């Protein structure tokens, strides 16, 4: 299906790759296919390409120190951060880990795995706007706590975590208890969309994915500060300092690097903000519309409900018109949104929730098409 044949508003699930990304990947597959661990000229070329991409990745998050480990996805980066840190740093009774109940499945399921290994797990619940009460977090961090994980931008509502404030709480607790508390941030929905400075934010571990910023699927990275140790979850050779062994996929790394270079943060942010505001102005004219995203959410994601119309019905109606949106995270296919449940929304709102997520490739004309079909769906469906 050609892009001109449909309207795509599911960019929080994945994005259309830049043309230059697919070209760079094809070029690397044809001419830079060597193994970066090989000692011959083709291997050396691949290794140099890999290290240049790693340098670009570090620059993209303003990392002056620490390591960037390429992974196969944001999910794998989250697993490596959480389980790898637990294996490397936990001793004795310091086995308490804290996160939020609205996190991505790749974080929540890691925490469930920690629980099976006798870790104490705390899931903080947000308010109606998806915000975590900082006083609640302050109260939960005690002398047993070794780890805090938070999502920078929520993938379903676009709610933004107060990462800087969380870090200030952690630093105060470190001084109080005289022990290190590792701070992990899942930045999959934030990377490339807001300026990230890991040094200024004080982040120890940061997870990133390529295909959310018009790069290829199958590649992401984990940033690890020099103050934190992690252990590998898989074992093999010495690639990625043995933290994530396996032959590096140079074409995907090259594609990721190109996406980072092409993604203009400030320019895209301004443009997408315009799109979201334009859509909101129109959407407010639809009867029974309830906004689920907080007012200060990222411009890239908008979550709302049309009362009386279940998500599945609306999605099928729009899909029949070749308009693609979603109802929740792509990783929770077929399930009700755990994010909206944690926020305390009514069951009817959860069951009718729609997530529209924008990109630089969307247009005002596409928003007009989406709005008209949502209005048509409401008038048609509610007649029955």
Q: Which residue has the higher pLDDT, 285 or 352?
A: 352
Q: What is the CATH number of the domain that holds 369?
A: 3.90.1150.10
CATH number of the domain bearing residue 234 = 3.40.640.10
In this structure, are residues 226 and 189 in contact, taking their beta carbons and an 8 Å threshold? no
Nearest to 156 by CA among 316, 372, 335: 335
Active site residue 331: yes
Does a structural domain hold residue 45? Answer: no
Residue ranges of E strands in the chain = 7-8, 67-71, 96-100, 120-124, 145-151, 182-186, 205-209, 220-224, 289-291, 301-306, 323-324, 353-357
Does residue 235 carry a pLDDT above 60? Answer: yes
Domain end: 249, 274, 294, which one? 249
- Neighbouring CB atoms inside 10 A of 238's CB total 9
The answer to whether position 277 is within a domain reads yes
Q: Are residues 149 and 181 in the same domain?
A: yes
User: Burial level of 11, CB count in 10 A (0-12/13-18/19+)?
Assistant: buried
Higher pLDDT, 1 or 116: 116
For residues 369-383, give the mean pLDDT.
Answer: 90
Contacts of 26 (CB under 8 A, 6+ apart): 251
Please report whether residue 40 resides in a domain.
no
- State residue 169's pLDDT score: 97
Does 240 share its domain with 277? no
Q: Which domain holds residue 97?
A: 62-249
The answer to whether position 242 is within a domain reads yes
Residue 367 belongs to a domain = yes
Q: How many domains does the chain have?
A: 2
Q: Do 208 and 296 fall within a single domain?
A: no
Whether residues 278 and 243 fall in one domain = no
Average of per-residue pLDDT across 158-174: 96
- Catalytic residue, candidates 100, 134, 224, 331: 331
Please tell me the pTM assigned to this model: 0.95
Please check whether residues 118 and 234 belong to one and the same domain.
yes
pLDDT above 80 (res 164): yes
Residues 225 and 313 in one domain: no
What number is the average pLDDT over the span 75-101? Answer: 91
Is 142 part of any domain?
A: yes
Determine the 3-state secondary structure of 341 from DSSP: helix
200 and 223 together in one domain: yes
Question: Are residue 220 and residue 268 in the same domain, yes or no?
Answer: no
Name the 3-class secondary structure at 172: helix
Domain end (from 199, 216, 249): 249
Regarding whether 217 and 106 lie in a shared domain, the answer is yes
């Amino acid at each position: 299906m050609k892009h001109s044949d449909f309207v795509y508003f599911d960019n929080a699930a994945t994005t259309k790759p830049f043309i230059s990304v697919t070209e760079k990947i094809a070029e690397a597959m044809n001419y830079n296919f060597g193994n970066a661990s090989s000692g011959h000229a083709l291997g050396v070329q691949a290794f140099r390409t890999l290290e240049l991409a790693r340098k670009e990745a570090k620059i993209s998050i303003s990392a002056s120190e620490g390591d960037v480990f390429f992974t196969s996805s944001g999910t794998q980066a989250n697993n490596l951060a959480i389980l790898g840190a637990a294996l490397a740093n936990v001793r004795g009774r310091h086995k308490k880990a804290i996160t939020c109940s609205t996190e991505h499945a790749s974080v929540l399921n890691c925490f469930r795995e920690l629980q099976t290994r006798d870790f104490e797990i705390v899931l903080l619940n947000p308010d109606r706007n998806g915000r975590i009460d900082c006083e609640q977090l302050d109260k939960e961090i005690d002398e047993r706590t070794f780890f805090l994980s938070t999502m920078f931008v929520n993938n379903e509502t676009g709610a933004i975590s107060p990462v800087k404030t969380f870090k200030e709480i952690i630093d105060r607790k470190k001084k109080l208890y005289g022990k290190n508390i590792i701070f992990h941030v899942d930045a999959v929905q934030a990377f490339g969309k807001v300026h990230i400075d890991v040094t200024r934010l004080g982040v120890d571990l940061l997870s990133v994915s390529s295909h959310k910023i018009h790069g290829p699927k199958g590649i992401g990275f984990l940033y690890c500060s020099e103050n934190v140790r992690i252990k590998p979850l898989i074992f093999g050779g010495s690639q990625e300092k043995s933290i994530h062994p396996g032959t590096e996929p140079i074409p995907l790394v090259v594609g990721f690097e190109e996406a980072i270079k092409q993604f203009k943060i400030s320019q895209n942010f301004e443009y997408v903000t315009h799109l979201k505001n334009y859509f909101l102005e129109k959407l407010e004219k639809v009867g029974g519309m309830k906004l689920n995203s907080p007012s200060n959410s990222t411009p890239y994601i908008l979550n709302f409900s049309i009362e009386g119309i279940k998500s599945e019905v609306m999605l099928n109606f729009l899909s029949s018109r070749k308009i693609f949106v979603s109802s929740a995270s792509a990783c929770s296919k077929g399930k009700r949104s755990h994010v909206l449940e944690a926020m305390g929304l009514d069951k009817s709102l959860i069951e009718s929730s729609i997530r529209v997520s924008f990109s630089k490739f969307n247009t005002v004309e596409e928003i007009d098409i989406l709005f008209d079909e949502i209005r048509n769906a409401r008038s048609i469906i509610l007649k029955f």
